[in-house]
Structure 1
Amino acid sequence: MRAPDFWTGDGGGIAPILLSPIAALYAAATARRVARPGWRAPVPVICCGNATAGGAGKTTLALDLGRRLANRGIAVHFLTRGYGGTLKGPARVEPGKHDSETVGDEALLLAAERPTWIAADRAAGARAAIEAGAQAIIMDDGLQNPTLEKDLSFLTIDGSYGFGNNRVIPAGPLREPVAAAAGRSGAVVLIGKDECGALALLPPGLAVLRARTVPGPEAKQLVGQSVFAFCGIANPRKFFSTLSESGAIIAGRAPYADHYPFDAGDMRELLAEADRLRAIPVTTKKDFVRIPPAFRARVTVVTVGLEWEEPAMLEAILDPLAGRVPIPA
């Protein structure tokens, strides 16, 4: 689904006001749920979460953290609900066997780098990962899930979107009030410039790590090239901007709703438009796994990563957790 227009802006208008009683009930239910005690794993658990519905860069952050811990010699496993997939788990994702309809697109991105587990019950997923040799677990999403205790939670914020209109679902995009999400987080990761004043809503003293999205090495092949960009992510504008900033010439663009399931009809239309524009069809890696296999050879993928303003600050935050990793017998 696409987020309603009134989820952005100053929170005014009749719709957010009319929906505010339901939003209050939603926030209260979330507060009761997250107050429940969860299972304490014998290995460090790091959560890449956010306060809003939709993406904020959690998967990109999880992949970055996974590489940093792996560089320290730690066996990292990813844990996710598998949004958009039918598999409830706990089950290990097998890229050659599972597809986006089964495990969701984000799980496939994670599994391409490290062992990844799907589990509606995060505690059960963590147990399975530990039995399989995980020395540390990185959760992609789950800040509002209480079943597994976290040693460190990062509150991820998309700087171009912030907290939307700062209201709780359904009056706005917040899963819970900002103060509640921030209160359970050990640090904030702001991706991009703070265009919406999100940082001003956070409690004082909370560590803020700043990063920006940068294109992967394949973007160099598109410098000066005419491209037709399409994607179904939470903030398509960010992908289009990344392409443009990397030197590609965007001849056309097609934004879709987050996690949009491209079918053969969609792809024929998209490729026909790219041909009409004499442009290279380009999308994200997350979207690529949702494209029917028969059309993938025609599409160029541009990956993204994070460039940190103060990487040493991030490593210092990870140091205590890395020191808690159990040593194999």
Structure 2
Amino acid sequence: MADLLHPFPAPYGREWPQKMGFINGTGNLVIPQEFDFSHHSKFGPGGYALVRKGRQRLIIDTNGQTAFELPSDTFNVWNIAPDEAGIFPVEHRIDHASPWAYVQDGRDRVYRGRSKYYAMDLTGNIRFEGYITKALHGHYFFKDSVSLSAPQGIMNHEGEVIVPAELHYINSSPTEPYLSVMRDGNFGVIDFAGNEILSISKKVTRFSDFSRVSNGLVQYYDDATKMCPSISLDGEEVGHLPPNQWMYYPACPTLSDGLALLHWERHDGDAVYVDAYGGYMLGDDRKPIIFSPEKRMGFFYEGLATIRQDDKAGFIDKTGAIVIPRQFYGASDFSGGLARVTQTYDDHSSQRYSFINQAGEVVAQNF
């Protein structure tokens, strides 16, 4: 999509159910607030979004036009919008019309009947059968079972199995068409054709022991050295990162926009930013910039990261300088050039949002 569209909800309480539309990157309302609000209604890379309007469950395009209405017995899976080929996963509830198929679980009405899982296109045709968990780069992650712990594999657009369902964890790269995977206690990197780019042979214990590929580099936790080597896709070690210490066990740092947020074990509770080569964000004195525990730091997105202190949030750049002052009660990460912010607690609880650009200028408000 040339211009990412952002969900733009009406303030909570203006009408019920709460409504939402979409704005573009300059803050203009391009799709009116006529759909029921949902945190899951977002445009995917294919240019489609899943929305509701009363009992209707719709797929819309970037002009707000209905591309498809799901039948009453057919439900989207994992809130995955149609991809560039117009394909998306669905659950067909065979017993949907039977009163015994649903049971009340607290406030939720839970389906207990029989289901079939398919890949459907925007004409309503079933393309192939399968339980799809993610669509990416024209391929689909799938499971042979709906169990959360079931291993995953990879299919193509025709439903042909490229990689059998034997991968116990898959982490997709934000920068390249590669996948960090775990199989039988070993970590490696594959492409979408199933080729091993980095041999699946490095011993790991859990999914937090390795990272996704970022700019040609990937990290994994080496229990022998208690460090996270950063390696290129031909296996060359180019640096070492300390593991994160904020969990019950050491965890490999996650790079976002080229930098990882690391809770530095030498300064309990303090945090630093480090790149894939093990280099720290440095101050003017050429020493690592250490953010004290009262400063709650976020990951970098589009060159900026949140900084929160004394219940006020702002943004820093990659030099550590505050470029958007701490003035917001709440602030999301930047995406498509905009960040969603709230000024006060009352604004936050009433969902009265402002959207700012990277200069800190308000380009849209929903109140």
Q: TM-score, normalised by structure 2?
A: 0.22
More strand by share: 2
Which has the greater radius of gyration?
2
Greater relative contact order, per chain length (Cα 8 Å cut-off, separation 6+): 1
Q: TM-score, normalised by structure 1?
A: 0.24
